[in-house]
Chains A and B, each alone.
Chain A
């Protein structure tokens, strides 16, 4: 199996997850708007500095690795599919609106 066919297959999976999430998000948004329930104004105090630092270091390492072996040139394309999948996943982490 070539890298290209793996990327296409994973791309289809990421797209499916994204679209499923988008559809859920759209239904949620309309249901919430119709319910007219007031949204709470609390902003959580979670600190994200460690996660942010990890993502910065990880991205730097991914770029640096492309200078060590040609295999790592393909890391970017695989990771960008992760971006699409994670965006889809984000919709499923939302609280479902009451209908």
Chain B
């Protein structure tokens, strides 16, 4: 297959790039205005949507927040790097991670129907332990900041590559577009724009991927033959090196990314109680086709024998490079950019909405319980801006955020099993919960850094889980999860209609 098919498209000007970014932002802003007008009156509406999010918005918005800009690109990149085994290990744990929320969501929604945040649950579960609650709150905040900055960075890279825009300007334009509409309607805005973004991710993805294959002489048959000729293992899903190389580590990381993430817990308490379980089931199952579809671009990269230096050295760029250089009509290239922008915007606004719930419930109402509703509403809205500004500063400063990625990964993976035990196992006690997280970080992270990702991840998960079990057996607690219903009155959460 002849690589000379890939050429630069001169029509992709910076002005077109700005128009696409700002256009999507303005469209979302118009929707946010409707939301603000009809659905948001106080902090309760802003952070929990009055617990009235229905099945349709639930499914659409969960898919949208789970489809990161990087996920759109990484599905192609993993296929490009490992063949179909890469796609298999990237895709399968992704859907499982969303569906894994179902049992935990069901238990907490049933027993803590008026909840807002997962830190709030930890406070009630461990007798208001400041250490346990503090660790979980910090983990959630770090996770959210990371979600925002990774999506921001990913988007700025793609937009700057496709439209030759300075990546710093692309970063600022992107964050201003998202924060402008997120500020107004909180969770309702995030849910509605996110749902629409799911449409903008799915249909264009299908059309663009088929158009790429349509453009290739010989189509899918030619790509299939070239991929097999390059290495027959590319057409198998059973490569053990893909599992060991990234698959198993990714699987644990993804589980932690849902179960230990306030973005998802906020939705657990905001979706109508009768729809919570089936929403996460549908979202997980319906998410699958998105990376499967986009992963097929990775096969094109293998088929043409592209090397990373062809597209700037970062394999995440293989999908954007193919789409923008294979000679597709401008409209289709813009559709693909829209897929990435939609994924980026929806994840950032979902994370911002989650941050607002943490600030309102776990920080302001916990430490400053006398704060008036009007003041709380303003602080909650400003927190949406604060998260975006912090993430933007980190991206623009050019700071290597490896440390933040590693810290967040360590915290989230360490929190995963203790949190699961706290929900499912009545004997879990505060010492086991806190000790499990601390020991997992102290022992597991050095293993992660010096021995390897797989050994480190397994060590973190094992240490955190075993510590909880040992502590629970030595000094068992007899926690009755149904008691959370009685404790709800003690929660210093914002109330509707104040």
List chain B residues, Cβ under 8 A from A51.
Answer: 281, 285
List chain A residues, Cβ under 8 A from B192.
Answer: 26
Chain B interface, >50% SS class: helix
A93 to B34, CA, bound (A): 24
Q: Are A60 and B52 in contact (CB under 8 A)?
A: no
Contact flags A40-60 to B (C-beta < 8 A → 1, else 0)? 111111101001100110111
Q: Are A18 and B199 in contact (CB under 8 A)?
A: yes
Chain A contact residue count (CB 8 A cutoff): 66
Question: Given A84-B198, A87-B63, does the pair A40, B274 have CB atoms closer than 8 Å?
Answer: yes
Closest Cβ–Cβ distance, residue A27 to chain B (whole Å): 10
Contact flags A1-40 to B (C-beta < 8 A → 1, else 0)? 0111001100100110011011011101110111000011
Closest Cβ–Cβ distance, residue A84 to chain B (whole Å): 4
Q: Give the residue name and chain of the A residue nearest to B64 (CB).
A: A87
- Chain A residues numbered 43-80 whose CB sits less than 8 Å from any CB in chain B: 43-46, 48, 51-52, 55-56, 58-60, 62-64, 66-71, 73-80
Pick the contact of A83: B96, B235, B290 (CB < 8 A). Answer: B290
Q: Are A70 and B224 in contact (CB under 8 A)?
A: yes
Contact flags B95-133 to A (C-beta < 8 A → 1, else 0)? 110010010001001100100000000000000000000
Most chain A C-beta atoms within 10 Å of own C-beta, residue among B211, B214, B272, B293: B293
Question: Given A25-B54, A90-B282, does the pair A40, B292 have CB atoms closer than 8 Å?
Answer: no
B458 within 8 A of A: no
List chain B residues, Cβ under 8 A from A3.
Answer: 210, 213-214
Q: Are B110 and A80 in contact (CB under 8 A)?
A: no
List chain B residues, Cβ under 8 A from A94.
Answer: 54-56, 275
Q: Are A77 and B293 in contact (CB under 8 A)?
A: yes
B206 within 8 A of A: yes
Q: Are A77 and B205 in contact (CB under 8 A)?
A: yes
B88 within 8 A of A: yes
Pick the contact of B206: A32, A55, A80 (CB < 8 A). Answer: A80
Q: Are A84 and B202 in contact (CB under 8 A)?
A: yes
Q: Are A83 and B88 in contact (CB under 8 A)?
A: no
Contact flags B460-487 to A (C-beta < 8 A → 1, else 0)? 0000000000000000000000000000
List chain B residues, Cβ under 8 A from A62.
Answer: 288-289, 292
List chain A residues, Cβ under 8 A from B34.
Answer: 26
List chain B residues, Cβ under 8 A from A11.
Answer: 203, 206-207
A28 to B220, CA, bound (A): 44
Pick the contact of B56: A4, A25, A46, A63 (CB < 8 A). Answer: A25
List chain B residues, Cβ under 8 A from A86.
Answer: 59, 282, 286
A37 to B150, CA, bound (A): 40
How many interface residues does chain B have, given as a range? 35 or more
Most chain B C-beta atoms within 10 Å of own C-beta, residue among A22, A43, A64: A43
List chain A residues, Cβ under 8 A from B394.
Answer: none
B250 within 8 A of A: no
Closest Cβ–Cβ distance, residue B97 to chain A (whole Å): 11
Closest Cβ–Cβ distance, residue A69 to chain B (whole Å): 8
Q: Give the residue name and chain of the A residue nearest to B45 (CB).
A: A33
Q: Are B207 and A56 in contact (CB under 8 A)?
A: no
Closest Cβ–Cβ distance, residue A75 to chain B (whole Å): 8
Closest Cβ–Cβ distance, residue B177 to chain A (whole Å): 21
A29 to B96, CA, bound (A): 29
A93 to B38, CA, bound (A): 23
Pick the contact of B84: A7, A34, A67, A83 (CB < 8 A). Answer: A67
Q: Are B293 and A90 in contact (CB under 8 A)?
A: no
Closest Cβ–Cβ distance, residue A49 to chain B (whole Å): 9
Q: Give the residue name and chain of the B residue nearest to A57 (CB).
A: B92
B353 within 8 A of A: no
Q: Are A77 and B274 in contact (CB under 8 A)?
A: no
Given contacts A14-B202, A33-B52, A63-B292, 15 further A-B contacts (CB under 8 A): A7-B206, A25-B57, A33-B38, A46-B277, A59-B91, A59-B95, A59-B288, A70-B224, A70-B225, A73-B296, A74-B213, A79-B288, A80-B289, A82-B286, A87-B286
Question: What residues make up the interface of A, taking CB atoms closer than 8 Å to B?
Answer: 2-4, 7-8, 11, 14-15, 18-19, 21-22, 24-26, 28-30, 32-34, 39-46, 48, 51-52, 55-56, 58-60, 62-64, 66-71, 73-84, 86-88, 90-94
Write 13 A-B pairs (CB below 8 A) sorted by A numbering: A4-B214, A7-B207, A15-B199, A26-B192, A30-B39, A52-B102, A59-B91, A59-B92, A62-B289, A70-B220, A84-B202, A91-B55, A94-B55
The 6 A-B pairs with the shortest beta carbon distances in the complex, nearest first, are A91-B56, A67-B235, A76-B293, A79-B289, A70-B224, A55-B285
